[in-house]
Amino acid sequence: MPHRVGIALGSNLGDRLENLRAARDLVADIAVPGEPVLQASIYETAPVGCPDGSPDFYNTVIEISYDGTAEDLLDQTQGFQRQLGRPEVAERNAPRMIDIDLLYFGDERVVTDRLELPHPRLTVRRFVLQPLADIRPELVLTGDARSIQEHLGTVMDQEIHKAAVMM
């Protein structure tokens, strides 16, 4: 049975908007045909935890239906990152053409050496919460008691600006 899956997309190198479009299109191609693909607006944010001098990010969130395992999806999205120019080994949080992070996988809790879902830092990152609230404000993550919109109200100190609506 397919799962509704949240995926964060970010880029702070090259043509950031085009990088997000390319990643969105690759992810949409693996979605269950006929099911909706939800996409938030794009937000520009200062880098968090990145090396000094890192450029600002464009961030968005999409939600798809996926008919496979979380590990399968991780393998596919990591392949998309390589396809879009992200090296496999780089300095932690270094500037990057594309970053694709799995946020949640239906109502499943996944904890492996490679993957933890829901994403353990999702609820403290405004650059993820704001776009996710655009498309799923009422979502309550597995193991949580508050909605995405409620979490968003607790992280207002991080600066974020709407940059675009991706088509």
Query: 11 - beta bridge partners?
Result: 58
Q: Which residue has the tokens 């600006």?
A: 161
Catalytic residue among 96, 125, 126, 136: 96
Q: What type of residue sits at position 61?
A: V
Identify the H or E element spanning 44. strand 42-45
Catalytic annotation present for 16 = no
Report yes or no: 63 and 38 within 8 Å, Cβ to Cβ.
yes
Whether 101 is a known active-site residue: answer yes
Instruction: From the candidates 4, 16, 24, 99, give the one annotated as an active-site residue.
Output: 99
4, 16, 24, 86: which is the annotated catalytic residue?
A: 86
Contact 21, 97 (CB under 8 A): no
Active site residues: 86, 96, 99, 101
